[in-house]
Amino acid sequence: MIRVFDVRVVDEDGSQLGVMRTADALRLAQERGLDLVEVAPLASPPVARLLDFGQYKYELTKREKEAKRKQRSITFKEVRLKPKIGIGDFDTKVRRAIEFLEDGDRVKIAVQFRGRELTHPQIGRDLLDKFADQIKEHGVVERPPMLEGKSMHISVASTHKPKQHEPTPAAAAKSHARAVDEAAPEDGAAQDDTNVLPPAPPAAPRPEPESGSASTGV
């Protein structure tokens, strides 16, 4: 309910109708079969708009759902290396990290040491520096290589925007099948509708015995 005395009115097409009394604006909305909705209560005077409130709420909810569908949380991926990794495996790991970064994810690249490999941490540092140089066009290293326990790693932030993943055909078909199942009536409900019997007619009254006739009751 609008409690102020005057409002600045905008019609359904977005045209400015100027400042008018709230009662007059309400009367105008009723004449057009619309609602008067306060859209900027902090303005001076507050701004109210003539619109179909039900349609307005529907479109607002639709936009919110669309925004939630499009948004995608950034996840943290991890790529693990070994100090004695081969060139082929190294290149495969680099391509995998680039895929993660192109999706907008952050990536942790870690070198796992075992046994006496811990006595040569420089091997892991050089490996991570080489890896970072290979992916520098897709991400930015957030921290330098650091040895923590038996692992040395770096964190890389993507320079790409998160991709919007459309549902796969299989997922879309599954969603459609679920919608059809929900829309179909249950078997039990259908049987209840078809098995309803009409009410039985009232029983005919029994004829009273004529006067003078013999009674058969006990």
CATH number at residue 120: 3.30.110.10
pTM of the model: 0.44
Q: Which of 158, 175, 191 is the last residue of a domain?
A: 158
SS3 (DSSP) at 49: strand
50 and 87 fall within a common domain: no
In a domain, 22, yes or no: yes
In a domain, 188, yes or no: no
Distance set, CA 12 to CA 20, 36, 38, 51, 63 (Å): 16, 10, 13, 5, 19
* 35-40 and 146-148 strand pairing: unpaired
Distance CA 124, CA 151 (A): 9
Question: Which CATH number does the domain housing residue 16 bear?
Answer: 3.10.20.80
Q: Which are the contacts of 168, defined by CB distance < 8 A and separation ≥ 6?
A: none
In a domain, 62, yes or no: no
Q: What is the DSSP letter of 136?
A: T
97 and 144 fall within a common domain: yes
Q: How many domains does the chain have?
A: 2
Q: Are 112 and 79 in contact (CB under 8 A)?
A: no
In a domain, 145, yes or no: yes
Distance CA 111, CA 124 (A): 6
118 and 81 fall within a common domain: yes
The tens digit of pLDDT for each residue in 56-111 reads 888 888 888 877 766 656 678 999 999 999 999 999 999 999 999 988 889 999 99
In a domain, 41, yes or no: yes
Q: Which are the contacts of 131, defined by CB distance < 8 A and separation ≥ 6?
A: 81, 90, 93, 94, 97, 109, 154
Structure tokens at 183: 């829309």
Per-residue pLDDT of the chain (218 residues; tens, 9 = 90+): 688 889 999 988 888 899 999 999 999 989 888 989 888 888 888 999 898 888 888 888 888 887 776 665 667 899 999 999 999 999 999 999 999 998 888 999 999 999 888 888 999 999 999 999 999 999 999 878 888 888 999 999 988 876 654 544 555 555 544 544 444 444 444 444 434 444 455 555 555 555 444 444 43
In a domain, 191, yes or no: no
What is the domain extent for residue 129? Answer: 76-158
In a domain, 176, yes or no: no
